[in-house]
Amino acid sequence: MRMLDDKQAQELEDNLRQRYELEWDKSRVRDLSLKILQIKDLEAYLVSQIESEAWSLENFPYWAMVWDAALILADFMVAQEPVPDRRILEVGAGLGFVGLFAAARGHQVTITDNHPDALAFAMLSAYNNKLSAVSIQLLDWHHPELSQSYDWILGAELLYNPKFFAPLVELCDRYLAPGGRIYLTQTAHFKGQYIFLEQTKNRFLVRYREKTLLHDQEPQTILFFELRRPD
């Protein structure tokens, strides 16, 4: 999806404001600062929607949050030197936090999610930060339609629901370029990663390390996974 023009950006923002209160959050990763469009007072909004039974755990808008795991993955991407021909895919991107910072660093990134509103938020953030090179598109893991393979595939806080693991593994196997890498970050207190890793063991080699992040002054352990095909 190409960069918005001024009229398209205004129309898209007006459309979102019919359903959400919006705010621009100034976020920083290392020496980069971006304005990320978010739902204003997200916690209160989510509580009100749950109380009104507008959402259930099945359709809860996980896309609307910037998870701690995304902060770790964004930090990793900002630390990496861009390579002109390296194609990077972010899956389950939500607001696009990781991909937007990667693009700001100079990486060639395609940001994807299966929720149109998530893509709208990411598109407006890309527009307002003048990230004209980033690509943003809808992606259904069960019926993926991508036109190319990718050298790196990224995902933050994806391993929470086992019913999505099989299509995620298939997607990664199908679209990871030869010699490519998959980088996933996941909050340690979710245990879904162990089920996911069991499903990947016949296709990918896995190594991981632990990262610690302060959240509300409490240490939070984030698992950082790197997957690649056997040589």
Helix (H) or strand (E) holding 46: helix 42-51
Domain assignment present for residue 201? The answer is: yes
Residue 58 has a pLDDT of: 62
Q: How many domains does the chain have?
A: 1
How far lies 166's CA from each of 40, 85, 104, 202, in Å? 34, 29, 32, 13
Domain assignment present for residue 183? The answer is: yes
Domain assignment present for residue 128? The answer is: yes
DSSP 198: H
How far lies 59's CA from each of 48, 56, 94, in Å? 15, 6, 14
Tell me the per-residue pLDDT of 87-98, one tens digit each, with 9 for 90 and over: 999 999 999 999
Domain assignment present for residue 65? The answer is: yes
DSSP one-letter string for 58-121: SS--GGGS--HHHHHHHHHHHHSPP-TT-EEEESS-TTTHHHHHHHHHT-EEEEEES-HHHHHH
Domain assignment present for residue 177? The answer is: yes
Domain residue limits at 215:
6-228
User: Which is nearest to 90 in space by CA: 106, 65, 105, 73?
Assistant: 73
Distance of alpha carbon 182 from alpha carbon 173, whole angstroms: 10
Domain assignment present for residue 1? The answer is: no
Residue 57 has a pLDDT of: 58
* Strand 108-113 versus strand 87-90 pairing type: parallel
Residue 214 has a pLDDT of: 86
Whichever domain contains 159, its CATH number is 3.40.50.150
Domain assignment present for residue 145? The answer is: yes
Tell me the per-residue pLDDT of 9-31, one tens digit each, with 9 for 90 and over: 999 999 999 999 999 999 999 99
Tell me the per-residue pLDDT of 56-66, one tens digit each, with 9 for 90 and over: 656 678 899 99
Mean pLDDT per 10-residue interval, the chain, length 231 residues: 88 96 97 98 82 66 92 99 97 98 98 97 98 95 97 96 93 98 91 86 94 87 96 82
Distance of alpha carbon 169 from alpha carbon 129, whole angstroms: 32
